[in-house]
Structures are given as structure tokens and as C-alpha cells.
Structure 1
Amino acid sequence: MSREKVFSYFLLGITVFFTFLVLVILTPFLKPILWAVIFSLVAYPLHLSLSRLLRNNTLSALMVTLLVLTFIVIPFLIIGLVAAKQSVEITKAIIQYLQNHTLTDVLHSLYSLPVVNKLITEEILQRVYEYMQSEEFKNTITSYLSKLTQKAGEIFTSMLFATGSVIFKSFVFLISFFFILRDGRRFVEFFARFLPMHKEDLYEVLLTIYKTILAVVYGSIGVALVQAVLSFIAYTVVGINYSLLWALITFIASFVPPFGTGFVWVPIAIYTFLNKGLFYGIFMLLWGSLVISTVDNILRPLIMKKGIKMPYIVLFFSTVGGLLTFGFLGLFLGPIVFTTLFSLAIIYERRILKEG
């Protein structure tokens, strides 16, 4: 083996080794960096327009970063903190209610509701009451209350630690976002020189990734945000306590198949019907089915299908699979992996099969 080949293999090996070390070092910052990449791609057209107008790439990137800080990062931090505070308040309220009321009181309160009163007879109520007086039931409830109190304390403590972590990750996100906006094009051009691909093929893959990210942002996150706002309006109108927290839960539920936001607004509609009266119950049911769910059923498939050229069933599995595998970031990574594979398959067919 010639000296040049030995050197080439050695250089390749040591490059792979140091690349691995770089990835290990960046692991604690990987998620905020990936989010910065995603948001910078979405904001890049705005940055490009500002850069041409101001004739200053750095100033343009700084202005867009400040816009993201003002209208995305800070509002989400505030919403997250308020939702965390409300979740702690709900837990405390449940514990306090259970401590101040006997289980018999709870049972009679439920029985006093008109709908429950019609469904449950006195005989059934008596049997339930007798079971609630047994030692087995009392021990079970005492055990659950103890665990609930302990869990509430753990949640509160973890929230305090998580707040510092979220602020730090937000800082990493903003720094990464700024530099990716400012220098991202140079990064791509630098690494493109080392890839054994035709330039047009590489940019075809990058364009596919870009379109996929936009489709997911507008089709999944955008629609989920609209649904969360619409649900917050409804929860506030019907008088649901901690409506902001429930709206945030609705936002998260919108990504969970098969019913999405229905996992949240349907139980709330039932609760409203039982506690707030027929009018508010019907309003919540109609608003959920005709407004909240309709936004999801109509807008999401249209936007996603327009930006991502894949069969809908493949799009479904890539999104849900990505979400289950990588968490919230998987909403992007799942479709990106599938669309990139499709794009590479098309390039292979064009460059290898047809030319061969």
C-alpha cells in the first residue's frame, strides 16, 4: 500500500474520531442548536430582505434575533412559567379539597348533579358508600394521598431546577440562532466542498429539507398554536379555571393521535355540561367539534401535503414516529429523514440507474 493511501486512511480515521468528539462535546447543547437551525431557516427570508435593505448582514441577523426573543422566546417562557404555577396550584387545590372533605361528601356532591342523579340509583350509591367505609378502601386512599403529596413536592422542586435549565437553553438557542443566520450560508458552502455530490443534487436535498421544515412549522406547530388560542378563548368563556394551562395541554395534545385536541376538549365539554349548565356545555361541544377540530382536519393536511411530497400515510408515520422517538423535536426530524431518503433515492435513480 502506498504512503499516500496510508495517509488518506489515517486522515479519514482521525477526522471521524475528532468529529465524534465534537458531537460528544455538543451533546448538552444539541437540542437548542437544532431548534436554532429550524427557526433560522424559517426566518431566513426575513433576514435576507433586511440584509439587502440595511446592507449589513450582522445588523440584520441581530434585529431578527431580537424579534424572535421579543415575540417567541419571552412569551413562551412567560406562558411556561404561568402554566407551571397553575399546575402546582391545581395539585395543591386537589390535595386541600381531599383533606377538607370526607369521601362521603365527595360522593354526595357527585350524586347531587342532575345527570349523575338520573344515572345512579340509591341502591348503587349505598353499595359504593359501604365499600368506602371499608378499611381496604381507606388504606388505599391514604396511600394514594401520601404519594400525591410527595409527588407534588417533587414536581415543584423539579420545576425550580427546570426554570434555570430552560433559561440557559434559551440563551444557547438565541446565540446559535444569531450565528446561523449570519454565517449559515458560509457553513453550508464550506461543508459542501467535502461532499462527493454534484452541486445541484446537494442543493436539491437541502431544498427538500427546507420545504419539509416549513411545512411542519406551518402545518403542525402553526395549526397547534391556532387550536390552543381557540381553546383558550372557549375555556375562558365557559369559566374553566386555569384556562391557560388547559390551552397549553391542548397544544401538546394536538400532536397525539388519533384524537388530538379531542383528548382535552371533550372531557372539558362533559365537565362544563355537568357543572356549568346545558348552554355552556353545548357551546363547548360545538366549539370543539366545529372550530377547534375543523382547523386540524382541514388546514393541517392541506399545508403538510403542499410542502411535503409524500403519501399521507408515510407522512403520518414519519411525524408520529418522530414524535415518539425524539420527542417534540421529532416532529421535524421524522419527516426530514423520510423526505431526505426519498430525495436521495430520486438522485440515485437519475445519476446511477439511468446514466448506468
Structure 2
Amino acid sequence: MTQLDKSQTRYRKAFILLLLVSILATFLAIIHEYIIVTLLAVIFTALLYPVYTQVVKILHGRRALSSVIVLVLAILVVGLPLLGLLGVVAAEAIQISEDVKPWIEKKIPDQYDLSRDLPEQLPFSEQLEPYESRIIAKVGELAGNTGEFLAKSISKITQGTISIVVKLFIMVYAMFFFFIWGPDTLTALMRYIPLTEKDRLHILEIGLATTKAILKSILVIGVLQGILVGLAFWAAGIKGAIFWGTIVVVFSAVPGLGAPIIWIPGVIYLAATGQTGWAIGMTVWGIAVVGLVDNILRPHIVGSEAKMPDLLVLLATLGGILMFGAIGIIIGPVIAALLVTILEIYRKIFYDLYSTSE
């Protein structure tokens, strides 16, 4: 090949690459509203795929019918109960946001004596006395802001009903085809990634394993801890027990922090309102019962599938929620896990190159 031919080939490749990037960027801009929905369809399809394969066997290879049956079952078993729970949580969130501010206004001007109601057994009760008004205000502000945030979020969802319906339709429609053509499509797409087959499979396995670990944390550990904390709040007479239990479910993806984020402020509230016995009881319940789920059940149910430090899981979860909303609970840790995996591949490739150069 002459120098002119090499130059033409180089320019041709550069032009094709530039054209590809331009068209891809334009296409992503067109569908950006539905990227998250499509990603969710991929995640849920991967999680339900074992069920789909079993249904295909039962129906002797009728893939389209099997896809419809799995989708209908998923909607009936998960979708409809979730919508019902969302309505209850919305009502309690609105009620909490409306109740907190009057409570703060009543307590602070009355010079409420925090040291009077804090049990002597609690550490640093005397040291907390100078900050009593600030503690009460912050606890109430946290509860109010949380309720107000969720109420506004749910309100936005209900106001954008048409948009939500369209996105749900796209997700279900995409899942229908992903069940049927997913493996072939994935194999074709993976060929465009300039990595070895081993590295491609590693990235795919990490993404799926992390998603499974997060969903197990939410659906099993989170639901169990949410029920336990919700029951404790209901027994102690704290309003919005279902709401606070749902918050525990949301934060359960973070090991060791999900439930305490909610029940510890509950203990402070009970102590501050003079319910010392309930405060001590909830402390024991939170440590001995709710904590047992994290310490005993989580390692067996979730295992080490996520393979990430707890701090990274926490940052990825909170960052994901801020960027993507509620679905960021899943997307944030998955992206973090993929980043860790790609960094490992990067280190391996450049270590090999460095070793070769020496």
C-alpha cells in the first residue's frame, strides 16, 4: 500500500468515526427522554429472563406468547400492588409535611425542656441540653422536608400521567422484544466493543450481578426492614408508619445505614416528646431485631454480588437518586460497579503494555 493509499484510508476512517459520533449524538438527543426507560426494560428483562425461559419450555418454544404471559404476571404481581402502595405513601407524605411545621412552631416558642424528657441512660444528655431547640428544629425539618420532597415528586408523577403512561408502554413494549430477541441483540452489540471476549463478558456479568444484588437488597432485605420499622413506628404512635417504612425500603440498598437513618431520628423524637419507654424500646428493637436482618440475613441473601465498598454504594445510591430520581437507587450502583470493572480492565491492559515496553 502506497503512502497515498494509507493517507486516504486514515482520512476515511476519521470521517466515518466523526459521522458515527455525530449521528449517534443526534439519535441520543432524540430519544433522551426514553433512555432510562429502555435501560429499565433491559434490567427487568435480564432479571425475569429465567422465568421466561421456563415458560418457553412449558409452551414448547412459543416465544411471543411466553413473553406476553411473563409481562402480564409481572404487572399483576408487582406493578399493581406498587401503584396501591404509592398512593398510600403519597397521602402520608403530604400529611407529614403539613403536620411538622405547626409542631415545631409550638415546641420552640414554649422553651421546651429537652433534658427533662431525654432519658438519663442516653449518653451525652446533659451536653445536648444547650442545643435542645436546634435538635428539635432539625429533626422536625428533616421529617418535613422528606415528606414534602416525596409529596412533590409523587405530585409530579400524577400531573404527568400521559407521559408516565407512554413511558410505561415503551418499557413493556421493549421488554416484549427483549425477551424474544434480547440474547441475539446483545451478542451483536457486544461485537462493537473493542475488547476481548473475556472482558466483554466480565462487564456484562458485573452489571447484572450488581443489579441483582441491589434489587435483592430492596425487595428482600428492604421490605423486611421496612415492615419491622413501620410496625415499630405504628406501635409507638408515630404518624406515617407506612411512609417511613417505605423510606427504609428505598435506603436498604446501603448496608448498615438504610434502617438506622429512619429509626434513630424516631428514637430522638420519642425521647424529645417524653416517651422515654418507647424510645428505649425502639432502640432495642432497632439494634436487636432490625439490625439482625443486616448482620445475619443480608450476607446469605445478597452475598458479595455487588463486590463494592459500602461507602461507594452509599455515594452511588445517593448520587443516582439526585440525578435520576427513584430509579437512581439501581442505576447509580450499577454505573459505579461498571466503573470499577472498567478500571480493572484499564489497569490490566496498561500494566501489560508497560510490562511489554520494559
Q: Same fold (TM over 0.5)?
A: yes
Alpha-carbon shift at residue 244 of structure 1 (Å): 0.6
Gaps of 5+ in 1: 132-140
Cα distance between partner residues in 2 of 1:156 and 1:200: 46
Which residue of 1 is the match for residue 35 of structure 2? 30
1:323 equivalent in alignment to 2:321: no
> Would the aligned equivalents of 2:89 and 2:246 in 1 still touch at CA under 8 Å?
yes
- Aligned pairs for 1:276-315 (under 5 A) are 277=275, 280-300=278-298, 306-308=304-306, 310=307, 314-315=308-309
Question: Which residue in 2 is equivalent to 1:21?
Answer: 26
Structure 1 residue 317: Cα displacement: 3.9
Q: SS of 1:291's equivalent?
A: helix
Q: Number of residues paired by the alignment?
A: 324
1:44 is matched with 49
2:17 corresponds to which letter in structure 1? Answer: L
Counterpart of 1:89 (choices 95, 112, 116) is: 95
Structure 2 matches for 1:151-166, cutoff 5 A? 159-165=154-160
TM-score (norm 1): 0.73
* Matches for 1:196-345 after TM superposition, within 5 Å: 196-219=194-217, 222-255=220-253, 259-272=257-270, 277=275, 280-300=278-298, 306-308=304-306, 310=307, 314-327=308-321, 328=329, 329-342=331-344, 345=347
Larger radius of gyration: 1
1:79 to 61, 85, 105: 85
Alpha-carbon deviation of 1:208?
A: 3.0
What CA distance in whole angstroms lies between the structure 1 residues aligned with 2:213 and 2:150?
35
Match of 1:8 in 2: 13
Deviation at residue 116 of structure 1 after TM alignment? 5.8
Aligned counterparts of 2:291 and 2:305: Cα–Cα separation in 1: 22
CA RMSD of aligned residues (A): 4.2
Distance, in Å, in 1 between the alignment partners of 2:22 and 2:248 is 44
- Long gaps (5+) in structure 2: 322-328
CA distance in 1, matches of 2:346, 2:301: 23
Match of 1:56 in 2: 62
Q: What fraction of aligned residue pairs are identical, expressed as a percent?
A: 21
Helix, strand or coil at the partner of 1:241:
coil
Give the TM-score of the pair, scaled to structure 2.
0.73
Shift of 1:284: 2.0
| One-letter amino acid of the counterpart of residue 24, structure 2 | T
Q: Secondary structure at the match of 2:309?
A: helix
Once the two structures are superposed, residues 285-308 of structure 1 have per-residue CA deviations (whole angstroms, 9 ceiling, x without a partner) of 222111212222344456555324
